[in-house]
Structures are given as C-alpha cells and as structure tokens.
Amino acid sequence: MASSRPGPNLSRIATSLGVSIATVSNALSGKGRVSDQLVERIREHAAELGYVPSQAGRALRTGRSGVLGLVLPDIANPLFPKIAQAIEFAASAAGYGVLIADSRGDAAAQAEAINRLVERGVDGMVVIPRRATRITFAACPVAVIDTPSTPGNTVSADHWQGGREIALHLADLGHQRILIIGNNQESSVQNDRAGGIRAGLRPGMQAETLWIDKLERDGGNGCPLGLAERARQGFTAFAALSDLQALRALTELQQAGINVPAHVSVTGFDDLIWSPVVTPSLTTVRMDMDRIAGIAVSALADTISKSRAREGVLVTAEIERVAMQLIVRQSSGPREPGTKNLRDGEHVR
C-alpha cells in the first residue's frame, strides 16, 4: 500500500517563497525579527499548503508540551466525566491537550497520578482532590478545584450557597422538618452543602442529617435507609447532598408506597444527565462547570506562561466562588395542599 504524502515542512515553504527556514520558523512561531508583511505572507502560504506544526518540534523549541494533566477523584462517578468534558473544552480553547488520571478515591493513588503526569511532561495540571485531602506541592503549576472551605483552591462552586438555595426553596413550599442525606462524613463538599442547608432554615424549621456511610458500616452496602419511618415521624422533605443519593431516596420511598411529591419532597445536587428524566424529575442544584473549568484553565495557563522553571506552583490567588443554580422540577412540592408550586424546570436564582 502506498503511503500518504506527508504534509509540507518548513523547508518546502521556505523554498517556495525564496526565504530561509529560520525566517519561516520565526514567522510561524511569532519569534525573531520578521516584518508583519512577510509574516502574513508566510502564514498564508503555509495555510494554502496545509502545513500543520509539529507538536514535538514545538516542544523542543519552547520547552513546553502543550498538554495539561487532569486528576479526577473517581471517574466512575457520573459527575466527573461531565467535569472532564468541561475541562477538555476549556483547555482546547486555550491551545492545550489533556491527559486524564483517576485517583480512584485513594490518597496514595492521587499522589501517584500527579507524579505520573509530571513524568509525562505536562505543562501544568488541574486537580480535583479526593475528599479531605489537600494538594500542597507538585513539580509543575497546579490549579485546584474544590470546595471553598478547603484552603489552597483556585476556583470552586459555592456549595454552601447551593445548600441555602435548597433550604429556601423547601421553606417556600412550607416544609418544616428536613432530613439531609449524605454518603460520606469526611467529604468537605457534602459538609458545606449540608451547612448551607442548615444556614438557610427559617425560624421553626428543623433539620437532621443521615450519613449513609455510617449506616452501611452496620447494615452493609445498599442497606435500607429507613426513610419510610422518617416520613412517618413527620419529615416531609429529604434533601440529598448529591443526585445519586437523591435517586436512592426516591427509589426507597416509592417502593414503600410514599408518593413523591404528593407526600414528601426529594431534592439533590449536581444535575446529573439522568436527573431530568427520572420519575418524578429531580429538583436539584447545578454547578456551572463551563465557567469553573474556564477559570481554572485560564489561571493555570497564565501561571504557565509566566513560569519558566518547572517548579511546583499552586494557583492560589483569592479563590473564586461560582454560584450554583437551583433547578426546580417535579420531585419537590408543597407540604400543604393549595400551595402554589413552581413550574417544572423553572430556574430559581
């Protein structure tokens, strides 16, 4: 089989224009002293010939790979592929490729993932730490996406504010007893969300917290959460700290013959891809991942451009908090009949 014809190299462009290879290289890289007219002429001719710059050659010239690392805490969690997509889009817009590593929820694996990406020559990396860990050093610039209560971050969704949005929504619907459902007591994100819910309670409202990890230590993975009994005790709203826990609550309540939202309301966090299509569709709080990713990548790229030495630099200018958005759907309704409910899918600020 005949091989495909290779694309034009710098030598071919230089020969066809009657200039030196160095002049072509400087014009295409934006370096050296080349007149604006000649730069435009060279670039136009290169485009006409279909010239594609070599990433390897660029790395040799600049000392940079044009690649960012991304360390996720658990790629099996349906939230994190969504985050990875936003990071990849923002990185591509900034001229970078992305290598992804999964820490699998383990601190040692997280450190190994960071070191592995550094060995592969990434210019910098975005890290979403496993719960209750801090990133203190890596051998390249690092942007951290975590909750605002954890020091050393670059940008974060405002999980506390998101929790307040849930509490205020349930208060508007007349609910007075709320059961907060989380799956891990060590999670800074979930603790901030729970704290925001408690902070948003109005006078006369009460909230208790059920931690699934604590329950499962005694009852085993997937054990019943006892939500039907909680409903009989007077809890009329179940505020899960992620959509995964909200789906578990919905399933258990419906299997017990408790109607959502006629009898009780259920809310979640994260607005996962299936949240609008479960029955009933899930009221939840959405992160603006496109904006979060854009801020993280922009701060990282700026640090990389200013740092010639490959030293560990945490991008820790004053953390930027990105507001979360409450999305009201069918799973939340009024505690008492006759209370006006919001339209399905209505956005609440």
Domain at 240, CATH number: 3.40.50.2300
Residue 146 shares a structural domain with residue 132: yes
Residue 338 shares a structural domain with residue 217: yes
**Beta-sheet pairing, 177-182 with 206-211:** parallel
CB 23 within 8 A of CB 37: no
Q: Decide: helix, strand or coil at residue 105.
A: coil
pTM above 0.95, yes or no: no
Residue 93 shares a structural domain with residue 167: no
**Nearest CA to 71 among 121, 138, 128?**
128
Residue 294 shares a structural domain with residue 175: no
Q: Decide: helix, strand or coil at residue 308.
A: coil
Which segments of the chain does DSSP mark as H helices, in order? 10-17, 21-29, 36-49, 55-62, 79-93, 107-119, 159-172, 188-199, 212-219, 227-232, 243-255, 289-306
Whole-number Å distance between alpha carbons of 166 and 181: 13
* CA 238 to mean position of chain CA atoms: 25
Inside any domain, residue 243: yes
Whole-number Å distance between alpha carbons of 225 and 232: 14
Pull the structure tokens for residue 245. 């826990």
Residue 88 shares a structural domain with residue 149: yes
* pLDDT (tens digit per residue) in 232-291: 999 999 999 999 999 999 999 999 999 999 999 999 999 999 999 999 999 999 999 999
Residue 308 shares a structural domain with residue 194: no
- Amino acid 71: pLDDT: 94
Whole-number Å distance between alpha carbons of 180 and 215: 14
* pLDDT (tens digit per residue) in 276-285: 999 999 999 9
Q: Which domain holds residue 237?
A: 159-287+326-348
* pLDDT (tens digit per residue) in 30-81: 666 788 888 888 888 888 877 766 554 554 444 567 899 999 988 888 899 9
Q: What secondary structure does DSSP assign to 79-92, as a single string? A: HHHHHHHHHHHHHH
